[in-house]
């Protein structure tokens, strides 16, 4: 049997307010994914999303669907 998790990964609000937009830091995102892999999660699919914040700013986000075997 499989267990699934949906995660929205995005940068914090502060960088968006300071710079007008925020892109996901690839090093932090890699660390996030590697940590989940150590916990037994595997990425099934992911999609990039630009999310609007407070009408004026945009921030990049990823919707990540992960699975792992439920023992």
Strand-pair category, 42-53 with 2-10? unpaired
Domain containing residue 13: CATH number: 3.30.110
3-state SS, residue 34: helix
Domain count, the chain: 1
Higher pLDDT, 11 or 65: 65
* Residue 60 dihedral angles phi and psi, to the nearest 5°: -75, 140
Number of H helices, E strands in the chain: 2, 4
Residue pLDDT, tens place only, 17-68: 444 445 778 888 899 999 999 999 999 999 988 766 666 667 778 999 999 9
Would the CA dihedral through 31, 35, 36, 37 be positive or negative?
Answer: positive
Task: Say what the pLDDT of residue 6 is.
Answer: 97
Residue 20 tokens, joined:
């007008």
Query: What per-residue confidence (pLDDT) applies to 16?
Result: 45
What average pLDDT does the segment 1-30 reach? 75
**Domain boundaries, position 32:** 2-69
pTM: 0.75
């Amino acid at each position: 049997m499989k267990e699934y998790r949906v995660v929205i990964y995005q940068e914090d609000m502060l960088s968006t307010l300071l710079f007008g937009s925020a892109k996901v830091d690839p090093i932090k995102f890699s660390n996030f994914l590697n940590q989940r892999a150590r916990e037994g999660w595997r990425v099934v699919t992911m999609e990039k999303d630009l999310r609007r914040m407070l009408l004026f700013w945009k921030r990049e986000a990823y919707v990540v669907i992960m699975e792992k075997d439920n023992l």
